[in-house]
Each structure stands twice: as structure tokens, then as C-alpha cells.
Amino acid sequence: MSSPSFLSTRARALTAGSSAGSALSSGRTRAQANEYNKQSNPDGIINLGVAENRLMWPDVVQKVPVCRFASAIARFLLEWSGLPSLQLNDGFQYRSDHLQYPPYHGTDALRSAIASVLTSFLFPLPTAQITPNQLQITNGCCSAISVVASVLADVGEAVLVPAPYYGGFYSDIEYEAQVKCIGVDFEPPFFRVQVEGLDRAYTQAATQGVTVRALLICSPNNPFGNCYSRDELIDIMRWCAKRHVALVSDEIYAGSVWGSADDDPHDRLYPFVSVLAIDSELEAGLSRDMVHVLWGLSKDFMVNGLRVGVIQSRNKEVVAACRQLAKFHAIPHPLDSLLASILSDHAYVSRHVALNKERLSDMYAHLTCWLRKKNISWIRANAGFFVWLDLRAFVQGMGGRVASLEGGEREAGDSTPVDRSAERLLAERFLEAGVYIALGEAFFCRDLGTYIRAFFVCTVQMKRGVISGSRLVPSRVRDRELGDVGKRPGADVERS
């Protein structure tokens, strides 16, 4: 009885998109259904393709004391019901209204706690003080992006995103807000953002009658795990001012910057600088009303499963409009209050962040030491919990075509189809070998050959994952290809 005419046009586009993306999503689905576990499922699939920082999981449990988390819920239920209250000295502020409708944009307590955490992560200028009134809580950062896209752009207008980019941005921008997500390709091997590329993309969109309303950057960068320099950010801000385009900075990895910048000015590792640490008006002529920051708890606090995102804006109209959409993206009232309690514990937050950075740094050292031995190259990182591996040699070893290492300038918005069959076959081989990897394709990387964003799962799983994969590459091919990479002058794509 089913007929396509029962669906709206936009719904048909959504479902068409889902089948087109199935080549990528099926691997993830298979990996999640058969996840590796040392004890219970040693033949399962190691997941190197999902942005979950597992290094801190045991500590999150220990440091956010279980008894406190549980007793806080018990306590509010008891007190609120009028039964004798439990006497617990855990700092949790009892609120009587947790089963009532919450303030959809987040309680004052949670927004205050997050204002404080963000201040410690972003080092905003005194003139950019982060206040609770600037903040809105959402059920995950995807919702935050969707809401901001809706508020900044009308249906059919566009947001530019430097590519390769976290693939979720595409659906975050397009699916619900119905705003076009236009990736702007930058050049390998370093993919740094330059205003000429933004200009080309903007002009090309304009030629097609599409108005660009915002530029979305992920800072620190996902999938590269490195930071924009202050100068790059100012260039971007100037460009936004010139084009009258809002700047949205997704700083969800701001609390996971674990490495230092290099002294060498030719190197590509910079310290993290929030857009709130730059006076956009003074330094770039960009109104502070056009700069918005996104954040969430998933990455820096390892709670992807809780779904908590944040929109920060100093533009009162943007804040007011976002709040009109808040009820569609609210989090549970008890979760709100529990998080407010946990995040108000400054000592805990400091310990947690320090320990996480230490572990991320250690894991990067372990992993890259081992990648060197295996002749696998990657882009150097100092933030997040992943590295961008260059697996073009793997693809070539299987007879697939790869982009030249020199890259070459590509037109922004050029949508010439690229033959990805060899890459997808490689991903399939990885899966058969027990490893799920996220292909460059999933990050809208237009370069042929495969890059992957591989995560610091844990040393054993990471190594096992890459070993399994490296068996797929004939050593002759690997040595030759990676030898070439090594000869590139000035390459700071690390390798042995």
C-alpha cells in the first residue's frame, strides 16, 4: 500500500540520502553489532571509526563518584516526594521540580556551570566574558548545529565548511534545517584553510544563486586533531566580515588539547585559540554578533551517550531565536541538574581535564612511535583523540588509483564523481580483518586514496587494528610508496 506520495519532498530526499550513504554506514553498523571485547568477543571488530574517547572511561566512573551520581537521583526523588530525605553531603543541589517541564534551554544552574567550564577551556577576552544568558543547552552538538543553521540561514541558503570535515556536519546542517552544506576543499597534505578557497566557494555559490550565511569551522580540527593558528583565525574573521558571513566555531574538542605548539614557525602545530580569545571587531572588523561558539560534553567529558550540546552567542537575537526551538532539543530535567552539580565541582573538572590530557599525550606517543615502524604516515596532532592516517599506499597496493601526493588545486564545489571503489574495497578488507575504519569519503575528502581518522581507542586495540590492516598491504608496495612520502621536502607528515 506504500506510496512515495505519502512523504514530503524533503522526506524523500532524506531517505534517498540514507541509501546513498549505506556503503559507509553499513560498516559502522556491522562494527557496532559485533564489537571487539578482549574477554567476551575477541574475534569481534575493533572500532577505529567513532569519536568516543575511551581512555578516560574508567576514570569518569571513578571521578564522577558512582555513589554521588546514583544518590543524587535517589535524593531528589525522595525529597521531592516528601519522604524522609537521604542525608548526603555530595554537593548536589536538590530541586523540587525535576519531574516537571524543565526550562527547555537548560536550567540556570547548568548554564552557569557550563559558562564556568567554557571560560576555563576557551580563555575568552575580558570583553568576551561567557555568561549563562549567552548559552543554550541542546540534546547533543548535532542539534546545536542544526538549530544555529536554522537561525542563521533560510531553507536553500548555505553554510560553508572547510573540507575534509567531520562528516556529521553534512546531515547536521542539511537534514532538519534544510540549509546547504558546501564543503570547501583545501590542499593536501596539510589541508590548511585559506581565504582564496573560501572566496572561490562563495563566488561559485553566488553564481548558482545560493546565499552563503555562515562559515562553520571545527576548532580544534576534526579530523586532523590540530589547531587553527591565531593568524589563520583572524584571516577567516576578516573574510567573514568582508562577505558578511557569520562565523560558527565548533570548539567541542577545546578541553582535549593535550600537545604543545612547535617553536618552529614552519611547523603546523599551533596552540588552541578560541574565537572568543580574539577581538573580532578590533582585529578583523567582524561584529561579535556574528561569532558563535558550539560545544558539547561528549568529547571532553566522554559522555557521547548522554547527548548534551551547547550554543554560545553574544547576539541577543540569535539567542532568542534559538530558544524558540529549544523545546525540540531539550535534555531531561534530572540529567540537567546532575550535570550542573558535577560540572560545578571545579576541583573535579581540573583533575579530569589534566588526567585526560596526560593520557591522550601518552597514547599519541605510543601510537606514532609504532606507526613510524610500520611506515604509515599521518598528520601531526596536538588535540582530540584521533590521527589522520594516510593509507593511499594501501589503496595503491590493491591496485586502486590515488591522488598524487602533490595534490593540486581543485575548484571548490567541483562535484566531479570520484571512483571510490578501491577505497571501499579496502574498508571491506579491514572489516574482514576485524577493524572498522572511517574512510576519507566519510569526511568529504575529495582526494583519491584513503585517509582515515583513527582513534586512540587503547594501545592494544589501536595496534591490533593497524596491524590487521597493514597485513593487507604488500610490503613491496608499501615500502616504495612510503619511501616517496619520506622524500618530500619539508614534509611534516610524520613517518619513520
CB of 355 to a copy of itself, least distance (A): 15
Residues 120-149 that bind a copy of itself (CB under 8 A): 139-140, 142-143, 146
Among 22, 26, 74, 208, binds a copy of itself (CB under 8 A): 74
Comparing CB distances to a copy of itself, the nearer of 313 and 382 is 313
In terms of Cβ atoms closer than 10 Å to its own Cβ (0-12, 13-18, 19+), residue 306 is: middle
Q: Cell digits for 186? A: 583545501
Instruction: Confirm or reject binding of residue 69 to a copy of itself (CB under 8 A).
Output: yes
Residue 302 sits in the site that holds a copy of itself (CB under 8 A): yes
Q: Which of 30, 44, 80, 355 is the binder for a copy of itself (CB under 8 A)? A: 80
Q: Other C-beta atoms within 10 Å of 267: how many?
A: 12
Distances (CA, A) of 35 to 40, 43, 124, 412: 10, 9, 41, 38
Provide, rounded to whole angstroms, the least separation between the CB of residue 332 and a copy of itself: 5
Judge whether 336 and 137 are in contact, CB under 8 Å.
yes
User: How many residues sit in the footprint of a copy of itself (CB under 8 A)?
Assistant: 90
Site for a copy of itself in 210-229 (CB under 8 A): 213
CA-CA distance, 482 to 488, in Å (whole number)? 10
State the DSSP code for 86: P
- Check binding of 303 to a copy of itself (CB under 8 A): yes
Taking CB under 8 A as the binding criterion, the range among 4-12, 125-133, 402-410, 464-472 that sits at the site for a copy of itself is 4-12
Q: What are phi and psi of 217, to 5 degrees?
A: -115, 150
Minimum CB separation of residue 150 from a copy of itself in Å reads 7
**111 binding a copy of itself? (CB under 8 A):** no
> Whole-number minimum distance, CB 484 to a copy of itself, in Å?
38
Q: Which of 42, 82, 399, 490 binds a copy of itself (CB under 8 A)?
A: 82
Which of residues 93, 131, 154, 419 is near a copy of itself by CB under 8 A? Answer: 154
From 111, 180, 243, 307, residue interacting with a copy of itself (rule: CB under 8 A)? 307
Residue 100 within binding range of a copy of itself, rule CB under 8 A: yes
Closest approach of a copy of itself to the CB of residue 392, in Å? 29
First to last CA, the chain: 61
> Does the protein bind a copy of itself through residue 85 (CB under 8 A)?
no
Give the single-character DSSP code of 406: T
Range in contact with a copy of itself (rule: CB under 8 A) among 175-183, 221-229, 348-356, 428-436: 175-183
CA distance 208 to 379: 35
Please report, as residue ranges, which positions from 329 to 388 form the binding site for a copy of itself (by CB under 8 A).
329-335
Which phi-psi region, left, alpha or beta, contains residue 91 (left: φ > 0; alpha: ψ -120 to 50)? left
Q: Decide if residue 441 touches a copy of itself (CB under 8 A).
A: no
For residues 260 and 245, give the distance between their C-alpha atoms in angstroms, rounded to a whole number: 31
Provide the 3-class DSSP secondary structure of residue 344.
coil
Q: Report the SS3 class of residue 451.
A: strand
SS3 216: strand
Site membership for a copy of itself, residue 101 (CB under 8 A): yes
Contact 107, 115 (CB under 8 A): no
Nearer to a copy of itself, 69 or 370 (CB): 69
- 63-72, long-range: CB within 8 Å, 24+ apart, which pairs? 63/348, 63/351, 63/352, 63/355, 64/342, 64/348, 65/90, 68/92, 68/342, 69/338, 69/342, 72/337, 72/338, 72/341
Find all residues with CB under 8 Å of 233, minimum gap 6, and list them.
219, 273, 275, 278
**Does residue 176 bind a copy of itself (CB under 8 A)?**
yes
Choosing from 206, 320, 365, 418, the residue that interacts with a copy of itself (CB under 8 A) is 320
Nearer to a copy of itself, 19 or 415 (CB): 19
Nearest approach, Cβ of residue 102 and a copy of itself (Å): 5
Residues within window 252-281 making contact with a copy of itself, judged by CB under 8 A: 281
Out of 23, 34, 44, 52, point to the residue binding a copy of itself (CB under 8 A). Answer: 52
The answer to whether 7 contacts a copy of itself (rule: CB under 8 A) is yes
User: Per CB under 8 A, does 17 bind a copy of itself?
Assistant: yes
Q: Which of residues 447-486 bind a copy of itself (CB under 8 A)?
A: none
DSSP state, 326? G
* Interface pick for a copy of itself out of 128, 198, 215, 246 (rule CB under 8 A): 246
Q: Provide DSSP, 159-182.
A: EEEEES--THHHHHHHTTT--EEE
